[in-house]
Amino acid sequence: MTSRSEIEYLMKRSKEFLETAKIQIERGYYNLAAFSLDQSLQLFLKAKLLSKGVEYPKTHSLRRLLEILAEVSSEKGRIQELLDTYLLELGILEDAYITSRYIGREFRKKEVEKLEKAVMEIMKSVP
């Protein structure tokens, strides 16, 4: 059984990555901000899965984590709607995880602001 403290830890780290992303956006560090947004949402979704008694898989795929959450949630339709609405943003966030480490890809301010909006909306809407 997952401990409450593990869920709280993941949520705390998620919030820290989100705050870090906001600072990075203000300073023009858009590549780092995209990575931080990805990390924030990953940790948030993993905490949500744990809170439902589901061990999350060893994946960095935001789309896969949301799909699993939809399978175990009473709000399957709402989560599927979020997946459909933010499909491109989720894909870009997943790419940010890889490109931040291995490939030179420059994110633009407006792009990262859209990613931030998507992350905030998903966090607000996932039960």
CA–CA distances in Å: residue 121 to residues 76, 77, 86, 95: 16, 16, 9, 19
pLDDT at 70 over 70: yes
* Long-range contacts of the stretch 25-29 (C-beta < 8 A, 24+): 25/109, 25/112, 25/113, 25/116, 28/109
Domain locations in the chain as residue ranges: 4-125
For 58-69, the pLDDT digits (tens) are: 888 999 999 999
pLDDT band for position 101 (cuts 50, 70, 90) = low
- From the options 3.10.20.30, 1.20.120.330, 3.40.50.150, 3.30.70.420, give the CATH code of 4-125: 1.20.120.330
For 91-100, the pLDDT digits (tens) are: 999 988 777 6
Q: Give the pLDDT confidence score for residue 28 in this predicted structure.
A: 96
